[in-house]
Structures are given as C-alpha cells and as structure tokens.
Amino acid sequence: MTLARHRLDATGSAPRIEWISAPAPVPYEAAVAFMEQRAAAIANGRAGECVWLLEHPSLYTAGTSADPAELVSPGRFPVFDAGRGGRYTYHGPGQRVAYIMLDLNARGRDVRHFVTALENWLITTLAAFGIAGERSDSGVGVFVGGAKIASIGVRVRRWVTFHGVSLNVAPNLEHFSGIVPCGLHDTPVTSLEELGAETDMARVDEALRTSFEEVFGLPGT
C-alpha cells in the first residue's frame, strides 16, 4: 500500500500543530466543550491546529447514525450524544483517543480524503508495532484479521475538523459487549494487547506523532 498519495498537507505557511496529552482521563462533556471552543477559534484565526491525546472514563457515545436498538446494555455506562458521524462506540481506560482539530480550508475541503488520511495514520501507526492494519468494506475504521482495532468519527464545522479516532491499546474488550460497536453485528473488536504487541501508551503516542507527519505534514510542537 502506498500511503504517500493520501497525504493531507496544509498549504501556505500554516503554523506548527499543537499536541496536547492529558495526564488523566477526561470527562466526555469537558472534552466536547474544549473541542467546540478550539474549533471555533481555529475557524476565526485565533488558534492553531491541534491534536489532543487522551483517555476517557468508561462510557458509550452515540453518533448521528446511532440506532437505539444497538445499545444492548443501556444502564451499564453513561451514554452521550456525540454529534459526530457514525453509530455507537465505547471509550475507556486503555484506549487512546486522539481528537483532531485541523483546518481543511488550508488542507483541501474534502472530508472523504480527510477520513482516508486518518485511516492511513492509524495503519502507519500499527505498522510500527509489526501489525498489518487494513480497511474494510464493512465500514470506516481500521481492522486486523477481520477484527476492528480503531474507530473513526468526525465532525466538520466551517471546514474545521473535530472529534477524531480511537485506537484500542489495552482496554477491557468485554466493555464493547454493551453495544453493537459501529453497527457491525458480526465484527469482533481487538487491541494491541490482544494481538501480543509489547507496548504501552507512551510508545503508542510516540508512534502516532511520528506517523502523523508522514500523512498530514507539519511537525508538532
């Protein structure tokens, strides 16, 4: 696979991307409030692009296409309407969430191309651990041997992106049983830990930052 043709570089003299890493799990509503404010500031030219790496406490989120019948255990964890694309997903400790606030005015107003670039970013990150990630005709995201290891759900407002991706590093995979993840009834979920990768969140973050520049250009701060 040649990933270079799917780069999503910024044009002109855009500033370096700010990378933020949360030291403790972030409540979901606080994360959404931050993204809303930052995306508005980017659109208004008052802030630069940003990638925010974090974990959430255990919770489920519902995208704009979520089917209530796919919330199998409604009382198990808090459920939030995310406002992003997609259906139900799980977030919790051991899962790396990356919220991506980029200006598509500078990178090309093509949401499909942006989602493809996110998939390439995740595939390149997995390759750093000797894992061959791939796309699937069954839906957006990244899969390994038919099992889903990473999900993507984004929102775009005034051509600035927010929300982003989640990569299963070492979460409790049983927690996904409370939903039909991403509406995929017959698709299991997996993680770096389950696949035998010897890694931790710090090494995953390093791989994410390294592969980000390959796909999106512009080093981070």
Residues annotated catalytic, as ranges: 182
* Contacts of residue 199, Cβ cutoff 8 Å, sequence gap at least 6: 129, 169, 192
Token couple for 104: 């598509």
One-letter identity of residue 171 = P
- ∠ at Cα 89 (120, 51), nearest 5°? 45
Asked if residues 82 and 61 have their Cβ atoms less than 8 Å apart, the reply is: yes
Query: Using alpha carbons only, how large is the chain's radius of gyration in Å?
Result: 16
- Strand pairing class (139-144; 59-62): unpaired
Q: What is the DSSP letter of 12?
A: S
User: What letter represents residue 197's amino acid?
Assistant: A
